[in-house]
Amino acid sequence: MTPSVSGSTSTRGRIPGRRRGVPIALHCLLVAIVAGLALWRPDVVEDNVEGLLIDWRFKARNKFWPPAVPLDDWRFKAHNRNQLPAVPSVSPKGRRGPDIKIVAVDEPSIARYGRWPWPPIRVAELIEKVAQGKPRAVGIELLLYEQESPWGDQRIAKAISSVKRQTATGIEFQLGGRFTGIVPDRLLEAAIKRVDQPTLLRPLEASRVLLQPESLAADAAYGHLNYEKDRNEEVRRERLYLRYGDAWIPSLALQTARIAAGLAPEAVRIRGDGVVELGDTKIPADLRGQLLINYYGDEESFPRYSAGSILSGNTDPEDFKGAIVFIGTTGIASYDLADTPFAESMPGVERHATVTANILTRDFLRDAPAAVDLLIVLAAGAAVPLLCRRRHAALSLLCLAGLALFLTGVNFALFLQGVRLALAYPLFLVFFQGGMMVSRQHLIEARVARLFSSYVTERVLERLIADPEMARLGGERREVTILFSDIRGFTSYSEKNPPEEVVRTLNEYLEAMTEVIFRWEGTLDKFIGDTILAFWGAPLPQDDHAERALRCALHMCSRLDRLNAAWAAAGRPALEIGIGITTGTVLVGNIGAEGKKMDYTVIGDQVNICSRVEELTKTYQTRLLITASTLERLRPLFTAGTFGHLAVTGLAEVVVKGKEEAVSIYRVSAKEHGGSVEIEDIGGAAATGK
C-alpha cells in the first residue's frame, strides 16, 4: 500500500501545475495585446466587431426601452441668440424637443410629377410652399447644382430668400487629395471660422467641390452632404465637417442646427481635441470630426410629408410653422440610401434630421475615455484566471458566461445613459483567454472536432451539432424550392476582357449574390463557374420556401442593377443574368465519401429541370422564369396581396432535356404601373391578386 500511496501523492503534486496550465507570461501577453488594441482601436475591429455590437445595443435599446423622437407638440425656442436651450425634460410618452419634419421627394411624388431630377420651376415651387409655412429653419438636401435653367435658378433663389437666411443647402465634395487653390468667398462665409490647433485634427480632405451657381442659393448657408461607410457597409458616424483647402465646411445637419438655434457662424468652434462647440453645446466628435449618430429607429422616425402632396395642395403649409424642415429625396432612384443599424436603405435626409435632433436636444452617444476602456480590459484580464482556477470545464464555462453577461449588462446600462464603452475588447479576453484555460483544464475537451463549416452554412452547422446523424452519407426526401442563376454570355465576356478584370468582376458579382441569398436564408449549394445553385426548405424546414426563393430572385435582379450602375460609372461592362426557379421533391443531405469529402447538396430530377428552365431564359429573353409547381405555391400569396407590382405570364409547356413530361414555365416581370399581381396562365386565362 505504501508505494501506491506515495505514487498517488506524487501525481497529485503535479496536477495543479498542469491545471494552471497556461503560463502567466502568456496571460500577460494576451492582456497586453488586447489592451493595446483597446487604446489603438483599429478600424477593422471598430467597424466589423464593435460596430456590430453597437447595432445590437441599438436594437436591444429600441426593443425594451424605445426612445421617442422629438415630438411636434413642442416648439423649439432658443433662450437667446447666443446659446441653445437646456435639454427639455423627458416624459415616458416621448422626448420633448425641436419640431423636425421631412419633406420627401418619394416614389409617389416621382410617379406623379416625373422622374428625378425635377425641372427647376417645380423645385422652386416646392420650396416656396414650404416657406409659406414660415419654418424656423430649412435644410435642403436636394442637389440643386444639377439645374440648368437660369430662370428656374432665379426662381429657386427667390424661394430660398423668402425664408430670410434660415436655409442651409447641401453640396457635395470630391474626397481624396488636398485642394490648394482659392476657396470661393461664399464657401468661406459658410465655413467654420474658429478652429483650435488644426494640426492636431485629422479631418476628411476634399479636392474638389460640386458647387451650385451663386445666383441659385446666394442667401443659403452651405453644408456638405458627404458621408462614409465603414467596413461593414453601414453609416454609423456623421462627419461634422471636412476640410477644403483652408476652409472647414460643416455638414448640412450641423449647419441646419446652427440656424435653428439662431446662432451666427462664429458660434461654431472646433477644439483641438475634436469636440465641436455650438454655442454652449459641446458635440462629442473625435479628431476626425466624427460623431456617433444616435439613431432613433428605422426610416420614417420623423414626420414625413410627400412633396407631391405639398405641390398638389393637399398639405397645409401651416404644418411647417416654426418647424425645422428637411427637404430631400427618398425614392429608390435617388441612390441617396445607406445602411444603418436599423434599416438597410435609410434615406440621407432622415440621417441629417437625426443628427440635427441629436445636436439640438444634446442627445449624444459619447465614447468613454480611453483610460476607462483600458481599465475594464485589465480587470477582465485579471478576472478570467480567477474564475477558471481549478474548476471543471463546465463550471468554468458557466463562470465565463456570467462574466460576459455582467460586462454586457454594465455596458448596455451605460449605453442607455448615452455612454459607449468598448465591448469587443473585454469580450475578446473572456472568450479567448478563458477558452485557453478551459481547453487546458481537460485535454479530452481540448480535442477539436472536425469542422463542417468549410462547406455548410452556420445554420446547417447548428443542425449538425444538434443532430450528428445528418453528417452521415445519404439524406432525406424533402420538398424544396431550387434556384439556378447564370451569367449570360460569360464565355464571350471572358474572351474579350483581361483575366484579372474577369476575376474581379465575377468575385464582386458572386459576393453580392451570396449576400442576397443569405439575406433570404437560402442554402448556397455551390458555384459552378458563373452559375449559382441555391435552395430553400432544407436543412431547416421553411414553409415559405417558394416565397423566399422568389423574393431572393427579385432582390438579385435589383442588386445586379446596382452593380451594373457602379460598373458603368467606372467604365466597366455590365452583366446580364437568367434565373430559373422550380419547386419539387428532391433528395437532400450530405453526399460524398465519408471521411474524405462530403457536400450538403440536393439531387434529383427537379435540379435538372431547374437548370433547364434557367437556360430557357435566353430563349424567351427574360431574366426570371418559374415553373407551374412554384406558381401553385405562390398563387395564394398573390391572391392575398402579399406581393405586388408583378406580372406573371404563362409562356409555354416545354419538354426539357432528359424529361418526357412537359413543364409549364411562367415569366415573372415588374409591372410598369404597379398595383397587384397579374397572372396570365398558359392559354390566356388571367387573374389578378387583391
- Report pLDDT digits (tens) over 623-679: 999 999 999 999 888 888 888 788 888 888 888 776 777 889 999 988 777 677 778
Q: Is the pLDDT of residue 374 over 80?
A: yes
The total of other beta-carbon atoms located within 10 Å of residue 149's CB is: 13
The pLDDT of 533-548, averaged and rounded, is: 88
Q: What confidence score (pLDDT) does residue 197 get?
A: 92
Q: Is the pLDDT of residue 2 over 60?
A: no
The pLDDT of 585-605, averaged and rounded, is: 77
The pLDDT of 97-114, averaged and rounded, is: 87
Q: Is the pLDDT of residue 47 over 70?
A: yes
DSSP E strands, 537-637: 577-593, 597-603, 624-627
Q: What confidence score (pLDDT) does residue 655 get?
A: 81
Q: What confidence score (pLDDT) does residue 335 get?
A: 62
Dist CA 418 CA 291 (whole Å): 13
Q: How sure is the predictor about 220, in pLDDT bands with cuts at 50, 70 and 90?
A: confident
Q: What confidence score (pLDDT) does residue 685 get?
A: 52
Name, of 230-234, 273-277, 516-520, the range with top average pLDDT: 273-277
Alpha helices (H) along 282-433? 307-311, 348-361, 370-388, 393-416, 424-428
Cα–Cα distance list, 533 to 219, 477, 510 (Å): 57, 18, 11
Average pLDDT of the residues of the chain = 80
Dist CA 430 CA 422 (whole Å): 14
| Least confident among 14-23, 90-99, 115-124, 595-604 | 14-23
Q: What confidence score (pLDDT) does residue 94 get?
A: 41
Q: What confidence score (pLDDT) does residue 80 get?
A: 31
Which pTM was predicted? 0.57
The total of other beta-carbon atoms located within 10 Å of residue 314's CB is: 10
Q: What are residue 578's DSSP bridge partners?
A: 486
Dist CA 621 CA 606 (whole Å): 22
The pLDDT of 398-415, averaged and rounded, is: 91
Among residues 547, 549, 571, 561, the alpha carbon closest in space to that of 636 is found at 547
Which amino acid makes up residue 261? Answer: A
Q: What confidence score (pLDDT) does residue 294 get?
A: 93
Q: Is the pLDDT of residue 191 over 50?
A: yes
Among residues 261, 342, 221, the alpha carbon closest in space to that of 85 is found at 261
Dist CA 662 CA 664 (whole Å): 7
* Grid cell of 538 as nine digits: 432544407
DSSP E strands, 561-655: 577-593, 597-603, 624-627, 646-654
Q: What confidence score (pLDDT) does residue 164 get?
A: 62
Q: Is the pLDDT of residue 8 over 50?
A: no
**Mutual angle of helices 393-416 and 370-388, in 10-degree steps:** 160
Q: Is the pLDDT of residue 13 over 80?
A: no
Burial class of 390 by CB neighbour count within 10 A (0 to 12, 13 to 18, 19+): exposed
| Least confident among 252-256, 288-292, 327-331 | 327-331
Among residues 597, 562, 568, the alpha carbon closest in space to that of 454 is found at 597
Dist CA 368 CA 639 (whole Å): 54
Q: How sure is the predictor about 352, in pLDDT bands with cuts at 50, 70 and 90?
A: very high
Q: How sure is the predictor about 118, in pLDDT bands with cuts at 50, 70 and 90?
A: confident
DSSP E strands, 435-540: 474-487, 523-528, 531-536
Q: Could you tell me how many residues make up the chain?
A: 690
Contact of 364 with 275, CB cutoff 8 Å:
no
Which amino acid makes up residue 259? Answer: I
Contact of 375 with 40, CB cutoff 8 Å:
no
Q: Is the dihedral of CA 219, 247, 206, 102 positive or negative?
A: negative
Q: What confidence score (pLDDT) does residue 85 get?
A: 36
How much of the chain exceeds pLDDT 90, in percent?
A: 34
DSSP classification of residue 50: I
Contact of 226 with 242, CB cutoff 8 Å:
yes
Q: What confidence score (pLDDT) does residue 243 get?
A: 94
Q: Is the pLDDT of residue 607 over 50?
A: yes
Name, of 166-180, 217-231, 283-297, the range with top average pLDDT: 283-297
Q: Is the pLDDT of residue 151 over 60?
A: no
Contact of 471 with 465, CB cutoff 8 Å:
no
Whose grid coordinates read 438579385? 556
| Least confident among 3-12, 222-231, 249-258, 574-583 | 3-12
First to last CA, the chain: 88
Q: How sure is the predictor about 353, in pLDDT bands with cuts at 50, 70 and 90?
A: very high
Whose grid coordinates read 413543364? 663
pLDDT, tens digit, 9 for 90 and up, residues 457-511: 556 555 554 454 554 445 788 899 999 999 988 888 888 888 888 899 999 999 9
b/e code 77-90 from CB counts within 10 Å (16+ = b) = ebeeeebbbeebee
